[in-house]
Amino acid sequence: MNAPLSMWVEIPVAILLVLGGLLALIGATGLLRMKDYFQRMHPPALASTLGAWCVALASIIYFSALKSSPVLHAWLIPILLALTVPVTTLLLARAALFRKRMAGDDVPAEVSSRRTESGS
């Protein structure tokens, strides 16, 4: 049986876990309250990613104290989230914009990838 952890470990872990849960709740509330699809994309992406960072940090602190050595493999989850969430958000936004254009809705004009040279 493991010895109980110090209060100096349990308090930051508890605070980080509660903060992570609150950030997830804020993201879910933002998802429900926003009216437009494009507005709904931001609160869950930002809040959930920050919540995942808090939970990962709590996990690192807890298991590092439990094993008495650094446990850093929990960083893999938030790092992968930080890399994939912006890409996924961009792809979803472009797909939704394409669908709105095909439906004939009023959306911003498409930006051309070609640059015109001024002076030629």
pLDDT digits (tens, 9 = 90+) for 17-33: 999 999 989 888 888 88
Q: Which two tokens stand for residue 32?
A: 């429900």
SS3 of 79-112: the string is HHHHHHHHHHHHHHHHHHHHHHHHHCCCCCCCCC
Q: pLDDT tier at 106 (50, 70, 90 boundaries)?
A: confident
Is residue 117 pLDDT above 60, yes or no?
A: no
What pLDDT, on the 0 to 100 scale, is given for residue 13?
95
What pLDDT, on the 0 to 100 scale, is given for residue 3?
67
What pLDDT, on the 0 to 100 scale, is given for residue 89?
85
Q: Which of 16, 118, 93 is nearest to 60 (CA)?
A: 16
Is residue 118 pLDDT above 90, yes or no?
A: no
Q: Which of 24, 19, 14, 21 is nearest to 65 (CA)?
A: 14
What pLDDT, on the 0 to 100 scale, is given for residue 114?
62
Query: Which pTM was predicted?
Result: 0.75
Task: Compute the half-sphere exposure of residue 56: CA atoms within 13 Å on the CB side of its CA.
Answer: 17
Is residue 107 pLDDT above 80, yes or no?
A: no
